[in-house]
Chains A and B, each alone.
Chain A
Amino acid sequence: MTTRKRKERAWYALFTLPLLIVFTTVVIIPFFIGIAYSFVSWDGIPANPKVFVGFANYADLLRDERFLTSAWRTIEFTVLALVLVNLLGLVFSLLVTSKLRGGNAARTMFFMPNLIGGLILGYIWQFIFTDAFKFIGEKTGMESVFFNWLIHPQFALYAMVIVFTWQMAGYTMVVYIAGIQGIPDELNEAAKVDGANLWHRLTKIIFPLLMPSFTICLFLTLSGAFKIFDVNLSLTKGGPNNATELFAMNIYNEIFGYGNYGLGQAKAIVFFVLVAAVTLTQVIITKKREVQF
Chain B
Amino acid sequence: MRKVKRSIILLTVSAMIGVLSACGGSSNGNAGAGSPTASSTSSPEASPGGAAEKQVKISLFQSKVEIAEPLEALAEKYKEETGNEVEVWGSAGDAYATQLQAKLTAGEGPTVFSVATGEEAEKFKSYFADLSNEDYAKNIAPDMALKDGDKVVGVPYGVEGFGLVYNKSLVDPQQMTDLASFTQLLEKFKAEGKNGISLSQEAYFLIGHIMNTPFALQADPQDFIAKLNNGEVKMADTKEFQEFARFLEAIRANAENPLEVKYDTQMGDFAVGETAMVHQGNWSYGMLADFGDLGFDIGMTALPLSGNDKIAVGVASNWVVNAKASADQIKAANAFLNWMFTSETGKNAIVNEFKFIPAMTNIEAENLDPLSQAVYEATNSGETIPWAMNYFPQGIIVNDLAPAAQEFFLNKDMTGEQFLANLDAAWAKGAK
**A interface residues with partner B (beta carbon < 8 Å):** 14-15, 17-18, 21-22, 25, 44-48, 130, 134, 148, 151-153, 239-242, 253, 256-259
Chain A residues with CB below 8 A from B16, complex form: 17-18, 21
Of the A-B pairs whose beta carbons lie under 8 Å apart in the complex, a sample of 6, sorted by A's number, is A22-B19, A46-B105, A153-B410, A240-B406, A259-B101, A259-B123
A44 and B395 alpha carbons, distance in the complex (Å): 14
Contact of B105 among A45, A239, A253 (CB under 8 A): A45
Whether the pair B123, A257 counts as a contact (CB closer than 8 A) is: no
Chain A residues with CB below 8 A from B326, complex form: none
0/1 interface trace, chain B 88-125, chain A, CB 8 Å (1 if under): 00000000001001101100000000000000000110
Whether the pair B101, A44 counts as a contact (CB closer than 8 A) is: yes
Whether the pair B399, A148 counts as a contact (CB closer than 8 A) is: no
Q: Report B355-411 residues with CB < 8 Å from chain A CB.
A: 394-395, 398-399, 403-404, 406-407, 410
Tell yes or no: B12 within 8 A of A by CB: yes
Whether the pair B394, A241 counts as a contact (CB closer than 8 A) is: no
Whether the pair A239, B126 counts as a contact (CB closer than 8 A) is: no
Nearest-neighbour CB distance to chain B for A279, whole angstroms, equals 28
Category for how many chain B residues contact A: 20 to 34
A18 with B98, Cβ < 8 A, contacts A45-B105, A240-B406, A241-B403 known: no
Whether the pair A239, B403 counts as a contact (CB closer than 8 A) is: yes
Tell yes or no: B259 within 8 A of A by CB: yes
Tell yes or no: B232 within 8 A of A by CB: no
Q: Report B199-228 residues with CB < 8 Å from chain A CB.
A: none
Chain B residues with CB below 8 A from A47, complex form: 126
The count of A-to-B residue pairs whose CB atoms sit within 8 angstroms is: 65
Whether the pair A130, B407 counts as a contact (CB closer than 8 A) is: no
**B interface residues with partner A (beta carbon < 8 Å):** 9, 12-13, 15-16, 19-20, 23, 98, 101-102, 104-105, 123-124, 126, 257, 259-260, 394-395, 398-399, 403-404, 406-407, 410, 430
A60 and B101 alpha carbons, distance in the complex (Å): 24
Chain A residues with CB below 8 A from B9, complex form: 14
Closest 9 CB pairs of A and B: A47-B126, A256-B98, A241-B407, A241-B406, A240-B406, A241-B403, A151-B259, A18-B16, A257-B399
Chain B residues with CB below 8 A from A46, complex form: 105, 126
Whether the pair A151, B260 counts as a contact (CB closer than 8 A) is: yes
Counting chain A CB atoms within 10 Å of each CB, which of B19, B104, B124 scores highest?
B19
Chain A residues with CB below 8 A from B395, complex form: 257-259
Nearest-neighbour CB distance to chain B for A179, whole angstroms, equals 33
Chain B residues with CB below 8 A from A151, complex form: 257, 259-260, 406, 410
14 new A-B pairs (CB below 8 Å) besides A17-B16, A21-B16, A44-B105? A15-B12, A22-B19, A45-B104, A46-B105, A151-B257, A240-B259, A240-B403, A240-B406, A240-B410, A241-B407, A253-B399, A256-B98, A257-B395, A258-B430
